[in-house]
Amino acid sequence: MTRSLAEEAADPSTTPQRMRELIQTDRSLYATVACNPNVDEPLRQWLWVNGGRDVQEAMVRQYEEAVRAQQEAQAEKEDAKGAQKKATEKPAEKKAQSADKARTTDSTADAKKADSEKIAAERAAAERAAAERAEAERLAAERAEAERLAQEEAARLEAARAEAERLEAERKAVQARLDAEKAESERLAAEEAARAEEQRRLAEQRKAAAELAAIQAEAQAFASQDSVAKEASASPADDDDAESTVVVNRSSRPTTRLVTAGGQSFELTNDVVILGRRPRGFLAGSVQLINVKDTERTISKTHARLSWHDDAWYISDLGSTNGVSVGFGKSKIELSGSEEVKVEGPFALGLHDMNLEIAQ
């Protein structure tokens, strides 16, 4: 039949070596092994120190029971001896025996008291040792916990420092990228502005060239009419013999002067007049070029055109920078594009006011 570990721990026949194996297997067997009469002294002392209060109380109870059993056995033995000799004892001997018994009782009481005091002292020493051991364990645990927290804090600070360095590196990289993007944007904007300016300049040149071509064509038409008229007047052929009718150039253009706010005055001697700060690019004699004095440089080099047709002067913008306006006050008109507007008096090129004085 298989015994339990508790039964094996309480069996006096169990060897001290086996007892050590049992307490390593099950801590609850400490008290049972400590009370086994076959336990050796080193193991008993170890169990007294390390077994805790329950083991110590069990060992004290065992000791007290052993002392009590010994005392009871001694008393029974003494009683048996007394009963055997009672009949033959003399009064003096009986008295002496009573005194011896009293002394024995007193000695037993003193021994019991001494044993109790020893047990109490051992218990107090064990409690102090247990308290000291518990305090040492508590201090060691607190020290270990403090070291662990210090290591965690150091690791946290190191991680925070590494994270701060990483974020700073990222910030610098982002700033460098933004600076590069800004520089690239500025470069592209400058290139775009340069392209726009070049396109505007080319558009103005194309527009001026187109206007110039139109003016030159118109001037050539006027020159052709003059030539035909001169040829007709130079040929005395009879009207009846002529194959075609001669076109007579009878210009009704009145005497007109252009007066600027700066005090300049020009007589208009051609049906086509080009106004500007320094007009260029027209055939000599085909049109009249008038240089308007402009210290503020608000008048374009080739700014506007005056044309006489349909018995009136008309003005148009030749793609100037600051435009052309006709009239003044509420009746003022701003020209747009290549629009041609009749002019009979005041007009302005940019910020410069001018006036056409037409003789009646």
Instruction: Tell me the per-residue pLDDT of 52-74, one tens digit each, with 9 for 90 and over.
Output: 888 888 888 887 887 788 888 88
The stretch 134-152 carries a mean pLDDT of 88
pLDDT at 27: 85
> In angstroms, how far is the first alpha carbon of the chain from the final one?
155
Rounded CA gap, 334 and 349, in Å? 10
Q: What's the confidence (pLDDT) of residue 122?
A: 80
Which is higher by pLDDT, 31 or 289? 289
pTM for the whole structure: 0.35
Residue 9 token pair: 């721990």
116 vs 219: CA distance, rounded Å: 149
Window from 2-11, 162-171, 301-310, 314-323 with minimum mean pLDDT: 2-11
Distance CA 292, CA 275 (A): 7
In this structure, what token pair is assigned to residue 114? Answer: 């001494």
Backbone angles phi, psi at 84, to 5 degrees: -70, -35
Q: Are 351 and 325 in contact (CB under 8 A)?
A: no
The answer to whether the CB of 289 falls within 8 A of the CB of 279 is yes
Q: How far apart are CA 51 and CA 31, in angstroms?
A: 8
Domains and CATH numbers, the chain: 5-141 (no CATH), 253-358 (2.60.200.20)
pLDDT for 125 beyond 70:
yes
Q: Which amino acid is at 260?
A: T
**Once rounded to an integer, what is the mean pLDDT over residues 245-267?**
77
207-231 per-position pLDDT tens digit: 777 766 766 666 666 556 555 455 5
DSSP string of 16-78, one letter each residue? HHHHHHHHHH-GGGHHHHHT-TT--HHHHHHHHHHS-HHHHHHHHHHHHHHHHHHHHHHHHHH
Q: How far is residue 96's CA from residue 88's CA, in Å, rounded to a whole number?
A: 14
Angle at CA 223, nearest 5°, toward 221 and 224? 65
Contact between 273 and 302 under an 8 Å Cβ cutoff? The reply is no
Per the structure block, which two tokens stand in for 334?
């701003």
Residue type, 280: R
SS3 102: helix
Model confidence band, residue 298 (pLDDT cutoffs 50, 70, 90): very high
